[in-house]
Structure formats: C-alpha cells, structure tokens
Structure 1
C-alpha cells in the first residue's frame, strides 16, 4: 500500500539526483553507490549528530526495499556508528525506521535514523528541534572526516 500523495515530490530523490560526492558545504555525510547519509534538518532530545541513511533509488517503505540493499545498509550503518563513536564519544548507537502513517513515517522514501546515544539522554521523549544550517554543515564535516 502506497501512502505518498499523488504528485509527491520526494525530497530524498532530489538530493540523490545531485550526488556525485558530498560537497564540503553540505549536510551529506556519506555517499556510496546505492545509499547516502545526511544530517537531517532536526534532532531529538538535544542529541546532536544523528543521521538519516537513505537509498539513492526511491522505495517508499520497508516493504518496497529490495533484499539486495541489505548489505549496503548494514555496512553504511556500521561506518556511521563508528564515526559517531569517534567524533562524539557516545556510549551507544540506536537506529529506528518508520513505515506508514500509523508508524510515524513523514517522508515517503525509506530511510533509517542513526543516533549517537548517551545514558539517560531523553531520546524517546525528546522533542524535535531544528538544527541551524551551520550546525548541520559542521556536524556533517566532522562525521565525513571520521569516515576517511
């Protein structure tokens, strides 16, 4: 079942179309053949440095994404997790993924949230807080540097 409205202009497809590699002034952290990651426009509960891991091709949700992308997602998630540990000295990593309106999906393109975690950090009860453009660019630059 599809939930994107007719004529949906997918923001993640727009970003994917412009990605030969991450530009130094962008919020993009990682670009591989099939997936890319970026620092989103907001964070939760004061936990900064979260990323979205996104397939370059359009798949609305977990029911659409092909099995063949599993290794790409796992490899990129592991790379992001290590970069987050190196940059933020976090105590752990969490991932989450939403599907459909009842699952709190709000962008109709599959994506995986990857969070640096700390004891009693309030992620699950945390409010959505926007990043400034400068924060996003700085966080992305730090994570990109840790990936190389």
Structure 2
C-alpha cells in the first residue's frame, strides 16, 4: 500500500533530520535512537497535549514498519502516558493510528497519536483545531519537564 505522491517531501523526515535532542524552542518532546515524539500542529476537541510518535527512518504505514520497532513505540507511548498524567492531570490515555486514504492517513510517514484524556473531552468527533505557536511550545515544554 503505497499512497505517497511521487516526489513526496516528508515533513517528519525533515524533522527527524534535525534531531540531536529536544530543543527548548521546539515542539519535540522526546528523542530516542529510533523514534521521536512531538506536539503536532493541531489538537482535537478540547484536548491539548496530544503527541505524535514517529520513527526516525521513513516508513509509510503499518505495513512497511519493521516489527522490531514495536518495543520502541511501546516504550515511548508509556513514557508519554506517565508524563501526560504528571503534566496535565489527565484521567486516561488513548492512542490511535491511521493507514491509507480510507484510514484517514494524511502524512505518509508512519506515526502513532497519543492523547491525554478527560471525561467529556470531545476526542471522538471533535474538531481539528490548530494550536497557536505559543500553545504548542507551552505544551511541549510541560511534557519535556514531566519527562525529566
């Protein structure tokens, strides 16, 4: 299942190429040898603090990603979940992942969404809302602090 257009300029690959470690002025919150996590450009419903975890190497979707990256994703998800509880006092965590046009994938680089959850937060069916630059950096800073 290859869906990226010919000549696709992958934004996650561009970001991965700049990553020695999370900088205070960036939206990157976690950098590991094979994956990284960052605050995306938007959030859903009333939930701020959502992250994307992506591999540093390019894989278009779940059908392409090597199985041995699973531990890296689980470790990053768990670290973010604990940090989200500490930073935001959330009541739960949700994850989701999209593949292909019918699966609502819109960036052609595998990534996993991690959301802090609150009762009645509007995640399912919530509108996609752009973060302001200030909100995005504030959320990233709070998560980096919680990750220690």
TM-score clears 0.5: yes
Secondary structure, in 3 states, of the residue corresponding to 2:140? Answer: helix
Deviation at 1:70, TM superposition (A): 0.5
Matched, 1:135 2:138: no
Q: Whole-Å Cα distance in 1 between the matches of residues 27 and 136 of structure 2? A: 5
Deviation at 1:129, TM superposition (A): 0.3
- Which residue does 1:65 correspond to in 2? 65
> TM-score when scaled to structure 2?
0.99
Deviation at 1:122, TM superposition (A): 1.0
Runs of 4+ in 1 over 2 A off after TM superposition: none
- Which residue does 1:44 correspond to in 2? 44
The two structures, once aligned, show a CA RMSD in angstroms of 0.5
Q: Whole-Å Cα distance in 2 between the matches of residues 84 and 69 of structure 1? A: 22
Q: Whole-Å Cα distance in 1 between the matches of residues 9 and 96 of structure 2? A: 24
- Which residue does 1:75 correspond to in 2? 75
Q: Whole-Å Cα distance in 2 between the matches of residues 70 and 45 of structure 1? A: 28
Q: Whole-Å Cα distance in 2 between the matches of residues 89 and 137 of structure 1? A: 18
Matched, 1:113 2:113: yes
Q: Whole-Å Cα distance in 1 between the matches of residues 135 and 26 of structure 2? A: 11
Q: Whole-Å Cα distance in 1 between the matches of residues 24 and 91 of structure 2? A: 28
Q: Whole-Å Cα distance in 1 between the matches of residues 127 and 119 of structure 2? A: 17
Per-residue Cα deviation, 1:19-58 (whole angstroms, up to 9, x for no partner): 0001100000000000000000000001000000010000
Matched, 1:19 2:25: no
Q: Whole-Å Cα distance in 1 between the matches of residues 30 and 134 of structure 2? A: 18
- Which residue does 2:3 correspond to in 1? 3
Secondary structure, in 3 states, of the residue corresponding to 1:90? Answer: coil
